Amino acid sequence: MITQVTVIVTAVKLLFMPLYRSTDFEVHRNWLAITHNKSIDQWYFESTSEWTLDYPPFFAWLECALSHVAKYFDPEMLKIENLYYASEVTVIFQRLSVIVLDLFYIYGVKQCSDLLDNGKLLVFILLVANPGLLMVDHIHFQYNGFLYGLMLISISHMIKGNVIQTALWFAILLNFKHIYLYIAPVYVVFLLRAYCFTVSSKDGVHTPWYSFSFTNLTKLGTTVIAVFALSFGPFIHQLPQLFSRLFPFKRGLSHAYWAPNFWALYNFADKVLLFLLKKIGFKASSNVASMTGGLVQEFEHSVLPTVRPSVTFLFTLMSMLPALIKLWHLGADRRYRNMSFIRCLTVCASCAFMFGWHVHEKAILMALIPLSFLSVLGEDDGKCYLILSTAGHYSLFPLLYPKNLGAIKLFLLLTHCAMGFVNVPRLYDDPKTKKPRRRGFMILPMLNWYESLYLYGFLLLFIYDILHSSLGFDKRFPFLPLMITSLYCSVGVIYSWLTYYYYFLTFNVSRVPTLLTARTLRYHRKGK
């Protein structure tokens, strides 16, 4: 069945090849040309195109390797001066490169799903057929699946107890794309707690104390440093230039399309206050409206304090701290530390999405991918997944703005929702009757009435988006569908984040055996 699912999803990806593609297509074509024609000491200085190389060295080397295959398809795509070159063969090559690299993602998914006692096939389908990855990678165009594959491989090694391999694969991932630094604190805390610190008994079972293994710390440090040395070593003389490309803080607080996070509500509140103050004669500066037009640039808030990168960093770190402290304490129990790690990973990825600087909408996948795996391991995990996957995936719709993609976006989301809402609740049937718990009329499985009402609201939101132009609002309020989508999705994303965070912080290990029943990881039973 796994093979059939893989073939079907791959066939869908092939059907998407002729569809709309974003400027990211030109970004990666330009990177192919740069790495193919320039020496490595020029990769991070080349600026013929506005789409300069701004990913870590491992990804640059990947582009270089792909370029040596690309030359057999169409050498013209490898000319730096051929800006926005997109011959039919070029499109085929770049689309196929994403599909082929997705083999790493499929492998990572299988490595994780194979560790489940129950829900193995469901998790495989939910992850391999993830609508967010299908929209972002295979229509919009990027290589996120390949990167999430590396993350899942790292997680699978963590579950198996292969600590060094866990650190190795995550270090490799960071050197492909540095956005995963957001979840690095989770790895640091877990690896230190599970591998470098051990709980012993000095005077018997009632006096536990920590012992520290410098040898294990050395092994971890050597592994991580070796990966970074291999990555950044060849660029040692140009590190300032390289880091200036990796961390361009002048891009502004919000991305071109508002990510549905805390800053979306902050921006909206600023606009509402500005509107009200204008009624009493307040005059705004010339650049206060830039964020409503979907532009990527710095701007000043008109009423509320303008947010700087340091503020978002502080908010993100402070929001993660309670979860990291909880992870440290849960890490003492070897039986359930694996689930605690993945849950903390989900929480901290959500914290980064909530408060990070210049967050992209697709960053919600960093929380949704591990949560998809968790959806079969606990009822609270499953409930949060159903809400967050709906709101998070719908928030990606504005990325695919052409009208002819509306039906495709809706089909992908509804198919995924049907798969989730039909199969995830079945894992949590009433333990006495072995039947689904009774719900009221129109109330979705596992959810209450207001959660169900919120999800039904997405149908109205989609209908309004279709009717926006016919109602005559497209010229006067061109930004309205984008703003409404961002705000409505942010309600669901923030609600899911808060409820799941509370669940994680109040998680009691003593309740775990009754919560898990048959839905457990094989490596728990082995005591690893």
DSSP string, 140-171: II--HHHHHHHHHHHHHHHHHT-HHHHHHHHH
Q: How confident is the model at residue 139 (pLDDT cuts 50, 70, 90)?
A: very high
User: How distant, in Å, are the alpha carbons of 196, 199, 269, 502, 524 from that of 332?
Assistant: 12, 7, 43, 20, 14
Q: How many C-alpha atoms does 350 have within 13 Å on its Cβ side?
A: 30
Give mean pLDDT, residues 284-307: 60
Q: Are 480 and 489 in contact (CB under 8 A)?
A: no
**What tokens does 489 get?**
């999705």
According to the model, what pLDDT value does residue 364 have? 96
Beta bridge partners of 200: 209
pLDDT digits (tens, 9 = 90+) for 103-116: 999 999 999 999 99
Q: Confirm if 99 and 107 have CB atoms less than 8 A apart.
A: no
Overall average pLDDT of the 243-264 stretch: 80
How confident is the model at residue 270, as a pLDDT? 86
Which residue from 49, 42, 47 is spatially nearest to 64, judged by alpha carbons? 42
State residue 295's pLDDT score: 41
Q: Could you tell me if residue 161 is left (phi over 0), alpha (psi between -120 and 50 degrees) or otherwise beta? A: left
> For residue 283, what pLDDT is reported?
67
Contact yes or no for 261/299 (Cβ under 8 A): no
Cα separations in angstroms, 370 against 280, 348, 420, 519 = 49, 11, 15, 16
pLDDT top residue among 53 and 526: 53
444-452 own/partner pairs: CB under 8 Å, 24+ apart: 444/386, 445/421, 446/379, 446/382, 446/383, 446/386, 447/383, 447/386, 447/387, 451/387
Distance of CA 480 to the CA centre of its chain: 26
Residue 398: pLDDT over 80: yes
- How far is residue 133's CA from residue 144's CA, in Å, rounded to a whole number? 7
Instruction: Judge whether residue 523 has pLDDT over 60.
Output: no
Q: Can you state the percent helix, strand and coil of the chain, rounding each to 5?
A: 65, 5, 30
Do residues 474 and 468 lie in contact, with contact meaning Cβ atoms separated by under 8 Å?
yes
Q: Is the pLDDT of residue 421 over 50?
A: yes
Q: What is the number of other CB atoms lying within 10 angstroms of the CB of residue 128?
A: 22
Q: What is the DSSP string of 311-374?
A: HHHHHHHHHHHHHHHHHHHHTT-TTTHHHHHHHHHHHHHHHHHHH-TTB-GGGGHHHHHHHHHH
H or E element in which residue 404 lies: none
Q: Structure tokens of 281?
A: 């004669």
**pLDDT, position 256:** 56
Q: How confident is the model over 439-466, as pLDDT tens digits?
A: 666 889 899 999 999 999 999 999 999 8
Is 50 exceeded by the pLDDT of residue 513? no
Residue 284 clears pLDDT 70, i.e. is over it = no
Average pLDDT over the chain reads 88
Residue 320: name the closest of 497, 491, 470, 460 by CA.
497
Compare 164 and 293 and report the one with higher pLDDT: 164
The predicted pLDDT at position 431 comes to 62
pLDDT at 74: 96
pLDDT (mean) for 390-417: 95
What local confidence, expressed as pLDDT, does residue 87 receive? 96
518, pLDDT greater than 50:
no
Q: Name the band, by pLDDT with cuts 50, 70 and 90, for residue 204.
A: very low
- CB neighbours of 528 closer than 8 A, spacing ≥ 6? 160, 161, 334
pLDDT digits 0-9 by tens, 50-72: 999 999 999 999 999 999 999 99
Alpha-carbon span 179 to 142, nearest angstrom: 14
Is the pLDDT at 199 greater than 70? The verdict is no
Q: What is the pLDDT of residue 293?
A: 43
Nearest to 352 by CA among 306, 318, 384: 318
CA distance 194 to 338: 10
Confidence at 258, pLDDT banded by 50, 70, 90: confident
Nearest to 55 by CA among 91, 31, 39, 79: 31
Name which of 131-135, 356-360, 411-415 the model is least confident about. Answer: 356-360
- Give this prediction's pTM: 0.92
Please report the pLDDT score of residue 390 as a whole number. 97
- Over pLDDT 90: what percentage of the chain? 69
Q: Closest by alpha carbon to 352, among 266, 290, 263?
A: 263
The answer on pLDDT for 475 being more than 90 is: no
CA distance 215 to 156: 24
The upper half-sphere exposure of residue 402, i.e. CA atoms within 13 Å in the direction of its Cβ, equals 10
